[in-house]
Amino acid sequence: MSQSDTVRRILDTAEVLFAQKGFAETSLRAITGKAGVNLAAVNYHFGSKEALIQAVFERYLTPFCQALSVKLRELELDDGPLSLERLLTVASRLALGSGTEEPRRAMVFFRLAGQAYSQPQDHLRAYLRKHYGDVFNQFTTLLRRTAPDVPPVELFWRVHFSLGAVIFTLSGMESLQTISKKDFNRSVSASDIAQHLLPFVVGGIKGN
Amino acid sequence: MSQSDTVRRILDTAEVLFAQKGFAETSLRAITGKAGVNLAAVNYHFGSKEALIQAVFERYLTPFCQALSVKLRELELDDGPLSLERLLTVASRLALGSGTEEPRRAMVFFRLAGQAYSQPQDHLRAYLRKHYGDVFNQFTTLLRRTAPDVPPVELFWRVHFSLGAVIFTLSGMESLQTISKKDFNRSVSASDIAQHLLPFVVGGIKGN
DNA sequence: ATCGCCGCCAAACGTATGTTTCAAACGTTT
DNA sequence: AAACGTTTGAAACATACGTTTGGCGGCGAT
């Protein structure tokens, strides 16, 4: 077993388990057990559990934010009027990707983001803000252009509300699965959610 | 110290600490220590930590849902056209109350709700659904009347998105406090949030 | 071939948690 | 006032956790 294989298997397993159960409720023994590696491997390769959590985020977020930044730059240079729908569609398409595996990972990651916000992982919040704050600002700036009528303060709130809508929804996915199946007799996928989410967010950002 | 006093002090302290740090991260020793009662008191009065969590929810939710149900029944019997704004305002007013202490407790409770959703407290989800599902359905039925153009499936989603917006926002309050203060040089209160939230939810429910 | 490094493993360590125990204190009833 | 059930108190218990340790094995460089 090569080195990178152990590291990758730890990251893969931790990603799923953290999203499923949260950080505090996921023990290193559960991770290493399911990953088929030794318990000490986490502390050896990552140093601590905290560092592992950060590494999980970094592996997903760094390539995504780089790609997003490029897409946003394209939109910035595009002189024509930028619609809110377009901006959101670009971001959503990027998250959902073109393959079959990306939507699942996007869902997993958003659940992770939810855990990061609702649990007191201060180190994580600081880390995220430090490393990915720029892309967030880039997005916000662009968003302001699509909704010039909305005051910046209001826009700030509505962005947070929108984030909450998506993260909260994906965090409770499996219970939503149950409810939705029972009440409407149909299952849900990540692109389903995106489809329903878009008009809600657009309406919410624009306001009553 | 009478019996109810010990129970109440445990509940008061647990409510705050659970909301601040989450369920798993809040130890019984932290609760009993801050409450000034003996460690064994929790297991004596409530039976287990799980039961304590449920009791915290019950103490807040039962009177609130009863009051909400009454208010909703009034709206049901009102024959005139019911606006979405009106319905949401009624619910919001009830949660924020008339006193000075209620907004704080409402914030605390919504943070608790966030914890309940993002952490795998299956027993809690089942408990909430079992005891308060009726009031939720009552609200949903009334909501459908205020937005007859929106298909029920779509409405189902948008309710969840809205719930996510408020719960997520309040769950991250203290970090929002920091951001908001830094970026816009003003603090935020529960009624602030409600004020910003209303147009967002109204716009979101109605759609693009 | 040998040395040194790196990754892996089983085991143990120290700590914190939820829970249980049992005697003492309290309050109510008789 | 005595007896009883109820509540509190300090301590211990069992368990699970994150982390550390020291030895073992392979592999490339010297």
Only one residue has tokens 């997520």, namely B168
- What pLDDT digit, counting tens, does each position of A72-90 carry? 999 999 888 899 999 999 9
Three-state SS string over B109-157 comes to HHHHHHHHHHCCCHHHHHHHHHHHHHHHHHHHHHHHHHCCCCCHHHHHH
Residues in chain B: 208
User: Which runs of consecutive H residues, i.e. helices, occur in chain B?
Assistant: 3-21, 28-35, 40-45, 49-77, 84-96, 102-118, 122-146, 152-171, 173-184, 190-206
What count of other Cβ atoms lies within 10 Å of the Cβ of residue B195? 12
Q: How far is the CA of A1 from the C1' of C25 (A)?
A: 64
pLDDT at B186 over 80: no
Interface contact flag, B168 A21, Cβ < 8 Å = no
Looking at residue B61, its pLDDT comes to: 93
- What pLDDT digit, counting tens, does each position of A11-55 carry? 999 999 998 888 988 999 999 999 999 999 999 999 999 999 999
Using CA atoms, how far apart are residues A32 and A30, in angstroms rounded to an integer? 6
The secondary structure of residue A81, as a DSSP letter, is: P
Residue among B115, B158, B200 whose CB faces A118 most closely:
B115
- What pLDDT digit, counting tens, does each position of A141-198 carry? 999 999 999 999 999 899 989 989 988 887 776 655 555 555 666 667 778 888 999 9
What is chain B's mean pLDDT, rounded? Answer: 87
- What pLDDT digit, counting tens, does each position of B24-51 carry? 889 999 999 999 999 999 999 999 999 9
Using CA atoms, how far apart are residues A186 and B147, in angstroms rounded to an integer? 22
Q: How confident is the model at residue A59 (pLDDT cuts 50, 70, 90)?
A: very high
Using CA atoms, how far apart are residues B10 and A123, in angstroms rounded to an integer? 29
Chain B residues within an 8 Å CB radius of A124 = none
Residues of chain B with pLDDT > 70, as a percent, come to 88
Nearest CA in chain A to B153: A184
- What pLDDT digit, counting tens, does each position of B94-107 carry? 999 888 888 888 88
Residue A208, SS3 per DSSP:
coil
